[in-house]
């Protein structure tokens, strides 16, 4: 059918002339499904190598929520695993107990690990904190993302320690990282802006972010072409999040000015270099309640527990 009959010509892959599924801007080209998968996985592998995120003998706990980012992360890591020396994966799923949302995503996480043949464990809020998130948030729903974020991090560390992990891998993508930079700038939070959770210290299990240079839209394409896309409900508490507003703002800016997200990440790195010798971080000590590493007498989790009356 010609263009004049109402159907535009399908763009061919720059490399093989098969129908293209994506346009990559740097360098500018169109890629078919096979070449897009190769491009996507090569970039993740390059990120891991460049930042030395994985070492021989590592046991990596993948934070698997069942959503698109963590699904893509586990899928690509499982494909790259045969190229690494003595590296093992274990999936850790955190069940906050959010009605009408978490049950479906936990089910998706379990199904994925069964398909890939990867060990999977679930850690729940009721087990660790005495109640589900819905109950803990009664009367303070507007604080949902702050409360959930603190408790999820603790639950993930507990799961990683429980199942012998040496690294924690999260599905944070380029959009997430840029949003975090802007949110910390808006809050005037310099210590959090330059904090590096990837550093190996005796007190922490290092975190790695293999998708940190990957745009969110390319993750969606990867899942589609790998036949791994699932339609799942959105967390009902996202309407309270500052991140939701920042996401919309940055999406518009990126569309109008391609490269905005990457420029934010580069700005963060420059700020980190300037702050190398500045005493912006408090000396770590031990929480007097639970013994976890903390910048004060009480860690974030214990302070939150006190405010929740638990």
In sequence order, what DSSP letters do the residues of the chain get, joined into one string? --GGGT-PPPPBPTTT-SBP-EEETTTTEEE-HHHHHHHHHHHHHHHHHHTT---TT-EEEEE--SSHHHHHHHHHHHHHGGGSSS-EEEEEEEE---TTTHHHHHHHHHHHHHHHT-EEEEEEHHHHHSS-HHHHTTT-GGGHHHHHHHHHHHHHHHHHHHTT-SEEE----HHHHHHHHHHHHHHT-HHHHH--TTS-BTTB--EE-TTTTS-HHHHHHHHHHTT-----PPPTTGGG-HHHHHHHHHHHHHHHSTTHHHHHHHHHHHHHHHTTTS--SPPPEE-TTT--EESSSS-HHHHHHHHTT-
Pair (228, 306) in one structural domain:
no
- The pLDDT of residue 7: 46
Pair 231, 223: CB distance under 8 Å: no
Pair (220, 300) in one structural domain:
no
Pair (50, 162) in one structural domain:
yes
The sign of the torsion formed by the CA atoms of 149, 158, 117, 197 equals positive
In a domain, 19, yes or no: no
Pair (102, 247) in one structural domain:
yes
Q: Which two tokens stand for residue 114?
A: 């069964």
Pair 66, 108: CB distance under 8 Å: yes
pLDDT digits (tens, 9 = 90+) for 232-289: 888 888 887 778 888 889 999 998 998 899 999 998 888 877 776 665 555 677 888 8
- The pLDDT of residue 276: 67
Residue owning tokens 């955190």:
94
In a domain, 11, yes or no: no
- The pLDDT of residue 113: 96
Burial of 70 (0-12, 13-18, 19+ CB in 10 A): buried
- The residue range of the domain holding 293 is 285-310
2, 11, 185 from 18: Cα distances, Å: 18, 8, 44
CA 28 to chain centre: 26
Pair (84, 214) in one structural domain:
yes
Residues lower than pLDDT 50 in the chain: 1-7, 200-201
- The pLDDT of residue 261: 92
Pair 141, 99: CB distance under 8 Å: no
Pair 215, 44: CB distance under 8 Å: no
Pair (304, 255) in one structural domain:
no
Number of domains present in the structure of the chain: 2
Pair 26, 43: CB distance under 8 Å: no
55, 78, 218, 219, 293 from 175: Cα distances, Å: 26, 23, 11, 11, 29
Pair (308, 177) in one structural domain:
no
Pair (187, 206) in one structural domain:
yes
What is the model's pTM? 0.87
In a domain, 8, yes or no: no
Q: Which two tokens stand for residue 271?
A: 């700020």
- Ramachandran angles phi, psi of 241, nearest 5°: -85, 135
Pair (109, 199) in one structural domain:
yes
Indicate which CATH number applies to the domain containing 267.
3.40.50.620
């Amino acid at each position: 059918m010609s263009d004049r009959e109402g159907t535009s010509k399908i763009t061919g892959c720059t490399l093989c002339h098969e129908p293209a599924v994506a346009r990559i801007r740097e360098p500018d080209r169109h890629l078919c499904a096979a070449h897009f998968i190769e491009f996507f996985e090569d970039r993740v592998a390059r990120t891991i190598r460049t930042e030395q995120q994985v070492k021989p003998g590592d046991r990596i706990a993948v934070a698997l929520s069942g959503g698109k980012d963590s699904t893509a992360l586990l899928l690509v890591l499982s494909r790259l695993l045969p190229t690494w020396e003595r590296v093992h994966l274990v999936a850790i799923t955190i069940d906050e107990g959010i009605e009408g949302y978490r049950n479906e995503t936990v089910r998706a996480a379990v199904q994925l690990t069964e398909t890939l043949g990867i060990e999977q464990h679930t850690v729940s809020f009721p087990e660790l904190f005495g109640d589900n998130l819905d109950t803990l948030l009664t009367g303070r729903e507007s604080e949902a993302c702050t409360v959930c974020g603190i408790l999820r991090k603790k639950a993930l560390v507990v799961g990683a320690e429980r199942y012998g992990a040496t690294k924690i891998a999260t599905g944070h993508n380029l959009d997430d990282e840029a949003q975090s930079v802007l949110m910390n700038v808006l809050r005037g939070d310099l210590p959090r802006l330059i904090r590096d959770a990837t550093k190996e210290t005796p007190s922490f299990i290092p975190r790695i972010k293999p998708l940190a240079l990957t745009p969110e839209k390319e993750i969606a394409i990867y899942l589609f072409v790998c036949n791994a896309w699932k339609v799942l409900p959105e967390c009902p508490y996202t309407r309270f999040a500052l991140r939701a507003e920042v996401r919309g703002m940055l999406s518009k800016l990126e569309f109008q000015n391609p490269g905005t997200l990457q420029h934010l990440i580069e700005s963060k790195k420059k700020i980190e270099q300037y702050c190398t010798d500045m005493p912006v971080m408090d000396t770590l000590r031990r929480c007097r309640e639970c013994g976890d590493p903390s910048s004060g007498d009480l860690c974030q989790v214990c302070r939150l527990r006190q405010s929740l009356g638990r």
